[in-house]
Structure 1
Amino acid sequence: MMNQTKANHILLVDDDEDDQFLVQQVIKQYSPDSSIDVLGDGEQLLDALEQSPRLPDLVLLDLNMPRMGGLEALGHIRANEAYEHLPIIILTTSDSSQDRQQAQRLQATDYLVKPGNTQQMNQLVLAIKRQWL
């Protein structure tokens, strides 16, 4: 029974359409039963969490977005006990140690830098699936 698959619900929060497309394609390839909702910024994420009847299985959160960035959204989410155990992985182009430390302080589940090519993105998403889904 260990390998039983269940439909995972993933929130992908990223304003970059190319990144949205790439991450969705890779998730569909490795986790075809997962459903993915794409949101464009932190405000949309907070609204989606409030309105959803159940928590997503995973949030993939970019940092640099309009209106509300990932770190600000993460701070709001972690301030709410209802989301205490929600896995939130920062998936960003920023390799800044300052951003990484801030994400850790705000209790991000993990901090991953977006790779530069599709093959590396495949490996990254496969690792996320193995660990979190």
Structure 2
Amino acid sequence: MTDTKAQHIYLVDDDEDDQFLVQHLIKEHSPEAVVDILEDGEALIQALDQTDKLPNLVLLDLNMPRMNGMEALERIRANEAYNDLPIIILTTSDSEQDRKKALQLQASDYLVKPGSGYQMNQLVSAIKQNWL
């Protein structure tokens, strides 16, 4: 994207370590990016309903309390207003069943969180190149 405006990203994850690492890496690759951290799917639905301008990207974990990522994805995709919103599942689940279900629910991509900081850095770099 050649737009010089700040990219707005919703990071939806209940794990504080993952929140910190992903936010740090996004800021490293895109210092101008605005990252809103949301704790679960319910918070994501509320944020989307209350905003006047949709984020450029949603990074959505699957395993969260109250409303998990799969439930949130299904609710979001049921609303035509969000058809063009890129939603990437970013999760520790490498289950092929989860991957298939998320893609059937129209996730834009399904990425498994890597085990090392270096690999996560590479993943965030790829997200920036492909989605922002």
How many residues end up aligned between the 2 structures? 132
- Could you tell me how far apart the structure 1 residues matched to 2:95 and 2:130 are? 24
- Could you tell me how far apart the structure 2 residues matched to 1:69 and 1:91 are? 12
Q: TM-score, normalised by structure 1?
A: 0.97
Q: Report Cα offsets for 1:50-96 as digits up to 9, x if no partner.
A: 00011000000000000000000000000000000000000000000
- Could you tell me how far apart the structure 2 residues matched to 1:76 and 1:52 are? 17
Letter in 1 for 2:38: L
Partner of 1:96: 95
CA RMSD, 1 decimal: 0.9
Letter in 1 for 2:116: N
- Could you tell me how far apart the structure 1 residues matched to 2:131 and 2:95 are? 24
Shift of 1:6: 1.9
Letter in 2 for 1:44: A
- Could you tell me how far apart the structure 2 residues matched to 1:68 and 1:102 are? 16
- Could you tell me how far apart the structure 1 residues matched to 2:4 and 2:22 are? 20
Partner of 2:64: 65
* Structure 2 residue 105 is the aligned partner of structure 1 residue 109: no
Between the two proteins, what is the percent identity of the paired residues? 70
- Could you tell me how far apart the structure 2 residues matched to 1:95 and 1:52 are? 32
Partner of 2:124: 125
Q: TM-score, normalised by structure 2?
A: 0.98
Shift of 1:5: 2.5
* Structure 2 residue 75 is the aligned partner of structure 1 residue 76: yes
SS of 2:59 mapped into structure 1: strand
- Could you tell me how far apart the structure 1 residues matched to 2:81 and 2:32 are? 26
SS of 1:60 mapped into structure 2: strand
Shift of 1:3: 4.3
Mapping 1:15-94, distance limit 5 Å: 15-94=14-93
